[in-house]
Structure 1
């Protein structure tokens, strides 16, 4: 099987469009179509259904896509392994929840950058659900997510426990019961955020149906809107200590089993431990020890 043809197939399947794949690969559309036809002829099976709305994978195409993802990753891994030296260098792509990146990682990342300037480090922030998917599909080397994460292809390492608190405007009186907040609007991150899931589970366990839910894309926006009295949120205490001291918001403890969220670092079991990753893991462990 021609690896070049496999890459064209994989990119086309990812993009869901021959024209988009051609643009990404810097090929002519006819060239992409021809290479896919070559691969189909080699495998003696149809890989894509062609229709007016574009293309979709056939059952055979879906099977090949799974293998192609692994094959292309292993090839890249082999190149990295052969080219590795004792000095950490090359790409290292790490994911993190926005809250963890904002409070827990700046000093770690600054030290790593100074110590290993040859590493092409990239940090991607987003919700836990997205990062788990990205690590499983070789898009990220590892990620800081809310745990526990139970998956046969992943290993996880505990990083830190976060205490969760209800956050309201400073004008809100002290909350003795979460039922006092029944009529308030919930301010949350987008779907896939573990803190949002924790908040929704807390309300469900208490038999509370939120009046309204509003989604936001950044932590500062949520804190600012809570402070303005728009609604309430559930966030790690480490994130909201400073705005609480500034008198912008008020924090309230939550029921026992909802108090702690554990942050873990996940990676695939079959991930090659390059010098860059090894150095990062060592500094991460020392930082959170």
Structure 2
């Protein structure tokens, strides 16, 4: 199959417009149309529906797009493997939960950058769900996420175990039972956050429906609002320990089995692992590095 035709098809499919694809590829629209017709003839199927608003993929077109993206990923992986001289370098994109990035990773990332300055390391933060999808879609080389992760294409290595605590403002009375919080507002990250899922599972198991669940976008926002008395939240002790020590937050224990959350590093097991990612994995699993945490 002609890779050039597949590249044109991919550009048209992703842009949703022959005219836009022509601009991106710097081809005449008539040339793009001819190439798509040639590909359809070769495959003996219709790949796009043509209508007044542009074009839409057919079922066969959607299927071809899936395979085309796999082929393009494999080509890029092949190039990387052939050109890899086992000297860490080039781009390395790592995903992480915001809490892990803020508390656990800075010292480690600094050590990695100092050891491998030729690696262009990028850190992207997001929920566990976003990071898993980022790795699966080849947008990230690996990511720090919360267990459990079950996917046949992913390998995971346990790196941290977080002690979870309930946090409130300092005037809040002691919480002796989960039922004590059902009249309070619960502050959480957006859907996809593993800590939120853990808390919601705990509440569901106990048959508790909080008065209100309020979504906030950042860890700083949650901590600030809890400190001001807006509500309570559940976060890793490592994230809030300084705030507890300086007297701006109060912590409350969480019973088993909700008090622990394991953080794992995930990466695809069906693709070539470049030297940069291999060294990254080796370094954060190194006992000498772990001691810095």
Query: Normalising by structure 1, what TM-score?
Result: 0.91
The aligned residue for residue 288 of structure 1 is: 290
Matched residues in 2 for 1:200 and 1:221: separation?
20
The aligned residue for residue 40 of structure 2 is: 40
The aligned residue for residue 177 of structure 2 is: 177
Please say if residues 166 and 252 of structure 1, whose CA atoms lie closer than 8 Å, have aligned partners that are also in contact.
Answer: yes
- In the TM superposition, residue 5 of structure 1 has moved relative to its aligned partner by 3.0
- In the TM superposition, residue 20 of structure 1 has moved relative to its aligned partner by 6.1
- Report whether the alignment pairs 1:232 with 2:232: yes
The aligned residue for residue 161 of structure 2 is: 161
Write the deviation string for residues 36-59 of structure 1: whole angstroms up to 9, x where unpaired: 444333322222334456544322
- In the TM superposition, residue 200 of structure 1 has moved relative to its aligned partner by 0.8
Write the deviation string for residues 159-198 of structure 1: whole angstroms up to 9, x where unpaired: 1111111111111111111211111111111111111111
Matched residues in 2 for 1:187 and 1:224: separation?
11
Larger displacement relative to structure 2 (76-85 or 41-50): 41-50
Please say if residues 135 and 142 of structure 1, whose CA atoms lie closer than 8 Å, have aligned partners that are also in contact.
Answer: yes
Please say if residues 18 and 29 of structure 1, whose CA atoms lie closer than 8 Å, have aligned partners that are also in contact.
Answer: no
- Report whether the alignment pairs 1:209 with 2:219: no
Larger Rg: 2
Q: How do residues 181-196 of structure 1 correspond to structure 2 at under 5 angstroms?
A: 181-196=181-196
Matched residues in 2 for 1:32 and 1:211: separation?
57
Larger displacement relative to structure 2 (40-49 or 127-136): 40-49
The aligned residue for residue 259 of structure 1 is: 259
Write the deviation string for residues 203-240 of structure 1: whole angstroms up to 9, x where unpaired: 11111112111111111111111111111111111101
Shift in CA distance, 171/121, structure 1 to aligned 2, threshold 3 Å: same
The aligned residue for residue 151 of structure 1 is: 151
Larger displacement relative to structure 2 (256-265 or 14-23): 14-23
The aligned residue for residue 88 of structure 2 is: 88
- In the TM superposition, residue 199 of structure 1 has moved relative to its aligned partner by 1.1
- In the TM superposition, residue 270 of structure 1 has moved relative to its aligned partner by 1.3
Shift in CA distance, 226/17, structure 1 to aligned 2, threshold 3 Å: farther
Write the deviation string for residues 52-107 of structure 1: whole angstroms up to 9, x where unpaired: 56544322122212212221111111111121123211111111111111111111
Matched residues in 2 for 1:271 and 1:171: separation?
53
Please say if residues 142 and 267 of structure 1, whose CA atoms lie closer than 8 Å, have aligned partners that are also in contact.
Answer: yes
Q: Secondary structure at the match of 1:248?
A: coil
The aligned residue for residue 104 of structure 1 is: 104
Matched residues in 2 for 1:153 and 1:168: separation?
40
Matched residues in 1 for 2:218 and 2:131: separation?
17
Q: Secondary structure at the match of 1:258?
A: coil
Please say if residues 185 and 214 of structure 2, whose CA atoms lie closer than 8 Å, have aligned partners that are also in contact.
Answer: yes
Shift in CA distance, 52/218, structure 1 to aligned 2, threshold 3 Å: farther
Please say if residues 144 and 265 of structure 1, whose CA atoms lie closer than 8 Å, have aligned partners that are also in contact.
Answer: yes
Tell me the matched-pair count: 288
Unaligned runs of 5+ in 2: none
The aligned residue for residue 270 of structure 1 is: 270
Please say if residues 97 and 125 of structure 1, whose CA atoms lie closer than 8 Å, have aligned partners that are also in contact.
Answer: yes
Please say if residues 128 and 193 of structure 1, whose CA atoms lie closer than 8 Å, have aligned partners that are also in contact.
Answer: yes
- In the TM superposition, residue 145 of structure 1 has moved relative to its aligned partner by 0.6
Unaligned runs of 5+ in 1: none
Q: Secondary structure at the match of 1:281?
A: helix
Please say if residues 69 and 137 of structure 1, whose CA atoms lie closer than 8 Å, have aligned partners that are also in contact.
Answer: no
Query: Normalising by structure 2, what TM-score?
Result: 0.90
